[in-house]
Amino acid sequence: LAMASRLGVVLALAAVVLLAAAGAAAGQSTPRPPNAQGPKPKPKPMKVKCTENRKENPYCFNRNMDCPANCPQSCYPDCNTCKPVCVCNTPGACGDPRFIGGDGNAFYFHGRRDADFCVVSDRDLHINAHFIGKSGHSGMSRDFTWIQAIAVLFDGHRLYLGARKTGTWDDAVEHLDITLDGEPVYLPADLIEGAKWTSSRVPELSVTRTKATNGVLVAVAGKFSVRANAVPITEEESRVHRYGVTADDCLAHLELAFKFDALTDDVHGVVGQTYRSDYVNHFDVRASMPTMGGGATFTTSSLFAADCSVARYGVSRGNDGAAVLSELAGVTCASGMDGKGVVCKK
């Protein structure tokens, strides 16, 4: 009886082993390595917090908030509502450029690759954007484009903010380049959110890290602020949209959010015009991709040139509405001479 009992146990264990093996064979015979088990897990939401005036924001000050699920690594705190806001849900530009205007409406402006366009042009402020891209796949009449860099002209100064070309993306590595009047801006070496750089020559200008790497807030007090994140085109995005990203270039580009404090009603540019009181939105609201044309209207000869056909920088308006060159306009001449009050002669 004892032998029979032990034999029964052995047979039962053998049956369990065989059943387990059969189940594994029915599922997948060759185990996959851990990093090949389906799509990569989504990153944990980034935490942001309001650090603005404690007296004005006593409830929200220093309070941690998680970025929303649709922008887990790209949001900022709205200290008035005490809620996180996606960078790409505010006036600015993201992706294959999808813009949101000052009127709150979204539209696309594709421009063309390897070209520069005036995004905002006003009497005391001008912003150009440099577009990079890839040829569209068969059946497309346009390129895929993204904003790789912007140039900001203000008070005779020239600010550059751009994403470096890179092959393999590593978010722990800094991919942003910033210069002021041709000189590199070196942010504090400690890669921590909130690290801040201020200019001794332009005291009202500051650059603050919004993330440990690849995210900054550039602000000129009383004029404007620009939030910028450097981001890549991921393999998944390239596969879904057929962007054709290659190993030597992940098409690093910028996500941008604008805030303006002192625009005139004469402002123009791709986004600038949407801040005018007389601006009329002619887009078809039913269209899935309302697209702004008129690329030639906004083309500039170079990234730092304020010469698009609707340029306003350094120009004031007389009583009759005619354009008048500002007495202290910042001008760059072909001879290389530049500065406030300089007049170029042929």
Q: In the chain, what are the domain boundaries?
A: 43-86, 97-312
How many Cβ atoms from other residues are within 10 Å of residue 202's Cβ?
A: 16
Q: Are 177 and 156 in contact (CB under 8 A)?
A: no
Task: State how far the Cα of 275 lies from the Cα of 122, in Å rounded to an integer.
Answer: 11
- The number of beta carbons lying within 10 Å of the beta carbon of residue 51 is 15
CA 64 – CA 84 distance, rounded (Å) = 10
- Using only the alpha carbons of the chain, give its radius of gyration: 27
Q: pLDDT at position 134, please?
A: 82
Tell me the C-alpha distance between 139 and 155, whole Å: 45
Looking at residue 103, its pLDDT comes to 93
Closest CA to 66 of 86, 84, 51: 84
Give the C-alpha separation, 173 to 175, whole Å.
6
**Per-run averaged pLDDT (10 residues), the chain, 346 residues:** 50 51 49 48 81 79 90 89 93 94 93 95 98 74 88 97 94 94 86 82 93 93 96 87 83 96 96 95 78 90 97 72 46 44 39
Q: DSSP labels for 83-137?
A: EEEEGGGSSEEETTTEEE-TTS-EEE----TTEEEEEEEETTEEEEEEEEEE---
- In this structure, are residues 292 and 280 in contact, taking their beta carbons and an 8 Å threshold? no
**DSSP three-state, residue 7:** helix
Give the separation between CA 271 and CA 280, rounded to whole angstroms.
13
Sign of CA dihedral 177, 149, 46, 90: positive
CA distance 138 to 22: 47
pLDDT at residue 54, rounded to an integer = 77
Q: Check residue 281 and give its pLDDT.
A: 87
> Whose CA is closest to 145, among 164, 135, 162, 132?
132
Residue 199 CA: distances (Å) to CA of 89, 185, 261? 30, 9, 20
